[in-house]
Structure 1
């Protein structure tokens, strides 16, 4: 799972670089040449969605997620492992499965309705970016399961 997460992070880094280039191009064309594009602005938001959603599992893998470190840092390693186990079982995995379950229907509805931007000149095929939501949480659930097994092993050894 770590390998998959790593390669998804590489893809995300490429998308982030493209996002920076796109924002610079869009801002330059708007402010210097008074030319703007609704499609480019929407593409910026879609790239931003890709970066955020596909970075969730990587953040968990590298232990860079949000938590109250002021308390967590003071706990013993065994207590930290137990907190991680409970967090995965009670919060991360159930929430991931819920978002996957709801998200698949959300994407399906978008696809069936041929959902597109309501703005003239906007992007079509909105289901593509919406499909990242269940995909991102599938990756998160897999990474969380891997971390859960690691923390169970660590808890037993301490």
Structure 2
């Protein structure tokens, strides 16, 4: 494979790792926020109204930020009826097909996310609650993470093409 392809795959893999590890650390923020909420609600008898919503936003960030990392490490769920019986090239062909389907799905999802973000910006969309937070930051993160997942999907396609050519990209 050309050097630019190898560099692209390595760069996207590195970014996916970084964002994935950052996402994994969000579990501590979620746990701390929920413990703070439980403490203020049960011991001080003064509930904070933002804790649950902050945890929901953090969970959404955790989910989206972990997407490219999951793709890169092949950690997604696969229904293995005959996949393990295929040769390496056969698996690469099947993975190439599913990667193209994934890219199509992510592209459609990205178009919807961009539209949703544009609406949120135009209307200053907020959650209807006592805290009333803006949804623009989480929708912006969703768009950025979908772009990263698309880029990781392209890296997967390139990896599968390399296997079909008898090469390794790693």
Same fold (TM over 0.5): yes
Which residues of structure 1 form unaligned runs of 5+?
A: none
Range with bigger deviation, 49-58 or 71-80: 71-80
| Contact persistence 2:71–2:152 (CA under 8 A) | yes
Q: 1:74 aligns with which of 73, 77, 85?
A: 85
Return 43-52 or 23-32, whichever deviates more. 23-32
Whole-angstrom distance in 1 between the partners of 2:79 and 2:39: 41
- Aligned CA RMSD, in angstroms, stands at 1.5
Mark the runs of 5 or more structure 2 residues left unpaired by the alignment: 1-11
Contact 1:42–1:122, Cα closer than 8 Å, also in 2: no
* Paired residues for 1:17-36 under 5 Å: 17-36=28-47
Does structure 1 retain, via aligned residues, the 8 Å contact 2:61–2:142?
A: no
In terms of mean alpha carbon deviation, does 113-122 or 57-66 score higher? 113-122
Corresponding residue for residue 4 of structure 2: none
Q: Structure 1 residue 37: deviation in Å?
A: 2.0
What's the offset of the Cα at 1:95?
Answer: 0.9
Aligned length: 156
Q: Where in structure 2 are the equivalents of 1:5-154 lying within 5 Å?
A: 5-89=16-100, 91-123=101-133, 125-154=134-163
- Please list the CA deviations of residues 64-91 of structure 1 after superposition, one character each: whole Å capped at 9, or x if unmatched: 01111243222221111011100011x2
- The separation in 1 between residues aligned to 2:121 and 2:49, in whole angstroms, is 21
- The alpha carbon displacement at 1:144 in A equals 0.9
Residue pair 1:99, 1:134 contacting (<8 A) in 2 also = no
**TM-score, normalised with respect to structure 2:** 0.85
Query: CA contact under 8 A between 1:37 and 1:121: conserved in structure 2?
Result: no
Distance in 2, matches of 1:132 and 1:71, equals: 37
Shift of 1:16: 2.0
1: CA distance, partners of 2:44 / 2:132: 20
